[in-house]
């Protein structure tokens, strides 16, 4: 099931010869000689894995889904009413207090780190075109590149607004002084949409955990990202189409019976998972529990590293019903191994900033900070709640279908089902969806986008973080100052910065 990881040794070998460059258009393109590599199907597979998959990892401190300060799920939730951190590192105040500047570490490095990968995927598309290989395999590899490029473009667009997109002509002329421009919003949306639709036309609906290709991109993943794009653009009708598509039997998605079982080693590849960063002890290892749990928290495996950093604010914790089963892995009350009872009234240094967002199960073989439990990026509960929201927003009325969709997630948490009578109108229902998504998806990287869509992002920073620096323009994060400087005025910073 983890065949994709075996390719990363080739990936790392290839990227080791790629020097770091600051110019968007020149990285690595004079290093790989297309006349020599790729020559055959195996070369093409390795090159595609390097280009399309390398950004989407949870691998120690690298990858978009790393557990550290650079993970986009960490950035997203730390800047909202959910997240806080008990460490004093310089990166956290700007992120947590919404004191965004063009020199804020963590916030801006995502752009400079991953913008080049868009260009890598573009060039790789060209480089595999004439490689002699099975045409079906070639079509799938091309679709994977389109999926990865469209997905990464969406992530960067969501965080920073329209990005730089280099043309193929510019990429093939690395000595040019021309700077790839930021595209318009309309061009950005079309670019993402076209890439994802190209992927959808070719990729299989899904892979089972037993498949050798499990971990590669799928049609289900592409539709999920496309749905998120349409929610971002408030194109509710198209978002509904994507959500309904993902409910079809061919995808096989369904909710797990128990929330806490979703995120365990025993249940990797469960039917609720749309796409996960495949982790293993040999290659990718995520470090979530090390970042979260404190030494006082009892674990079955005594060798797990416990740094005690990330917390969920008490204000957010109090929005849960006490009967909510999701609190089983959001720990605000526990007895330590020495018998000390920690909670909000007796936090010690353990819970001083809030509850522990444990969420993931233990790796019984971990000997430190590492974990081989797959990091789940997208899952079916996310789609169901987005679909419920989109249905009501599209028609501005609460429907039985929307209530049923919301209840699928709500009742799984052990809570009584909603009825139509519980909602006075569309606004009341949408409020329930926002609450449900917060309770269901904490630290899965959706809270920032949700609050922006609801017009609450800045408001909540002021209300729950007491931020004196939060400004209305901060719904977009700043581009790195280095990008602005190196462009010699051709790249315009986001408004306000």
Any idea what the CATH number is for the domain that residue 159 is in? Answer: 1.25.40.390
437 within a domain of the structure (yes/no): no
Q: Domain count of the chain?
A: 1
Quote the distance between the C-alpha of residue 447 and its chain's center: 11
Q: Which residues, 6 or more positions from 179, have their beta carbon under 8 angstroms from its beta carbon?
A: 23, 24, 25, 164, 487, 488, 490, 491
Tokens of 402: 């929307």
- The model carries a pTM of 0.94
Give the CA diameter of the chain.
Answer: 68
**Across 297-318, average pLDDT:** 98
175 within a domain of the structure (yes/no): yes
Residue 335: phi, psi to the nearest 5?
Answer: -105, 125
What is the Cα–Cα distance from 405 to 419, expressed in whole angstroms? Answer: 12
Q: What is the pLDDT of residue 5?
A: 55
The whole domain housing 93 covers 3-233+479-486
Instruction: Report whether 290 contacts 355 (CB < 8 A).
Output: no
* pLDDT of 121 higher than 70: yes
> Could you read off the pLDDT of 80-102 as tens digits, one per residue?
999 999 999 999 999 999 999 99
Name the DSSP letter for residue 235: -
Instruction: Report whether 479 contacts 111 (CB < 8 A).
Output: yes
> Could you read off the pLDDT of 133-142 as tens digits, one per residue?
999 999 999 9
452 within a domain of the structure (yes/no): no
Instruction: State the SS3 of 389-451.
Output: HHHHHHHCCCCHHHHHHHHHHHHHCCCCCCCHHHCCCHHHHHHHHHHHHHHHHCCCCCHHHHH
Radius of gyration of the chain (CA): 22
* pLDDT of 35 higher than 90: no
> Could you read off the pLDDT of 411-444 as tens digits, one per residue?
999 999 999 999 999 999 999 999 999 999 999 9
What is the Cα–Cα distance from 109 to 172, expressed in whole angstroms? Answer: 26
What is the Cα–Cα distance from 145 to 461, expressed in whole angstroms? Answer: 37
451 within a domain of the structure (yes/no): no
Could you give the 3-state DSSP secondary structure of residue 323?
coil
Using CA atoms of 103, 109, 113, 115 in order, give the dihedral in degrees to the nearest 10: -70
**Across 177-191, average pLDDT:** 95
pLDDT band at 36 (very low <50, low <70, confident <90, very high): confident
Highest mean pLDDT among 106-110, 172-176, 385-389: 385-389
**Across 114-135, average pLDDT:** 97
pLDDT band at 304 (very low <50, low <70, confident <90, very high): very high
Distance (Å) of CA 244 to CA 3, 198, 223, 251, 383: 31, 19, 10, 11, 9
144 within a domain of the structure (yes/no): yes
180 within a domain of the structure (yes/no): yes
Q: Which residues, 6 or more positions from 9, have their beta carbon under 8 angstroms from its beta carbon?
A: 283
38 within a domain of the structure (yes/no): yes
* pLDDT of 369 higher than 50: yes
* 36-46 b/e (C-beta count within 10 Å ≥ 16 → b): eebeebebbbb
383 within a domain of the structure (yes/no): no
What is the Cα–Cα distance from 299 to 307, expressed in whole angstroms? Answer: 13
């Amino acid at each position: 099931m983890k065949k994709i990881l075996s390719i990363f040794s080739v990936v790392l070998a290839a990227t080791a010869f790629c020097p770091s460059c600051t110019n968007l258009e020149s990285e690595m393109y004079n290093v790989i000689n297309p006349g020599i590599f790729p020559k055959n199907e195996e070369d093409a597979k390795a090159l595609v894995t390097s280009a399309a998959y390398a950004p989407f990892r949870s691998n120690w401190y690298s990858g978009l889904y790393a557990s550290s300060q650079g993970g986009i799920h960490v950035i997203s939730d730390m800047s909202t009413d959910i997240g806080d951190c008990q460490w004093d590192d310089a990166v956290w105040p700007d992120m947590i207090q919404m004191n965004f500047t063009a020199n804020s570490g963590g916030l801006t490095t995502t752009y400079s780190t991953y913008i080049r990968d868009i260009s890598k995927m573009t060039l790789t598309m060209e480089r595999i075109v004439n490689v002699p290989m099975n045409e079906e395999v070639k079509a799938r590899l091309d679709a994977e590149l389109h999926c990865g490029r469209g997905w990464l473009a969406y992530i960067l667009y969501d965080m920073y607004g329209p990005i730089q997109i280099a043309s193929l002509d510019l990429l093939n002329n690395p000595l040019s002084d021309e700077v790839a421009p930021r595209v318009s919003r309309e061009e950005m949306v079309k670019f993402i949409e076209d890439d994802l639709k190209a992927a959808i036309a070719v990729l299989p609906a899904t892979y089972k955990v037993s498949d050798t290709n499990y971990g590669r991109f799928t049609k289900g993943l592409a539709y999920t990202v496309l749905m998120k794009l349409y929610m971002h653009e408030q194109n509710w009708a198209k978002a509904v189409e994507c959500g309904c598509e993902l409910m079809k039997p061919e995808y096989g998605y369904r909710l797990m019976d128990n929330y806490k079982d979703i995120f365990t080693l025993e249940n990797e590849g469960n039917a609720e998972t749309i796409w996960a960063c495949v982790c293993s002890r040999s290659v990718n290892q995520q470090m979530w529990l090390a970042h979260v749990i404190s030494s006082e928290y009892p674990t079955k495996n005594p060798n797990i590293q416990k740094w005690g950093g990330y917390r969920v604010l008490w204000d957010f914790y109090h929005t849960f019903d006490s009967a909510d089963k999701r609190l089983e892995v959001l720990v605000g009350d526990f007895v330590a191994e020495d018998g000390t009872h920690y909670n909000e009234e007796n936090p010690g240094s353990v819970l001083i900033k809030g509850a522990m967002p444990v969420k993931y199960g233990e790796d019984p073989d971990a000997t430190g900070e590492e974990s081989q439990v797959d990091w789940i990026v997208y899952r079916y509960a996310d789609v169901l709640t987005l679909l419920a929201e989109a249905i009501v927003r599209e028609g501005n009325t609460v429907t039985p279908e929307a209530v049923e969709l919301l209840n699928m997630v709500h009742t799984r948490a052990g809570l009584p089902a909603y009825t139509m009578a519980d909602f006075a109108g569309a606004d009341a229902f949408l409020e329930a969806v926002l609450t449900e998504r917060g309770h269901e998806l904490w630290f899965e990287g959706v809270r920032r986008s949700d609050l922006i869509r609801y017009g609450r992002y800045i408001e909540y920073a002021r209300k729950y973080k007491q931020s004196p620096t939060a400004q209305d323009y901060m719904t977009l994060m700043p581009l790195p100052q280095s990008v602005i400087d190196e462009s010699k005025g051709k790249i315009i910073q986001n408004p306000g910065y």
